[in-house]
Amino acid sequence: MPRVQLLQDNVSDDRQLLLNEVHAAFGATPNMFRAVANSSAALRSMWGAFGALGQGKLEGKLGEQIAVAIANINNCEYCLAAHTALGRKAGATGAEMEAAQIGESSDPRTAAALQFAVKLVRDRAQITDEDVSEMRAVGFDDEAIVEIIAHVALNLFTNYVNVALDVPVDFLGVRLRPINK
Tally of domains in the chain = 2
Domain match, 84 and 31 both: no
Domain match, 147 and 68 both: yes
Pick 181 or 159 by higher pLDDT. 159
What is the rounded CA–CA span in Å between residue 36 and residue 97?
26
What pLDDT was estimated at residue 179? 75
Domain match, 87 and 156 both: yes
Position 160 in a domain:
yes
pTM score = 0.95
Domain match, 150 and 100 both: yes
- The predicted-structure confidence for 110-140, as pLDDT tens digits, reads as follows 999 999 999 999 999 999 999 999 999 999 9
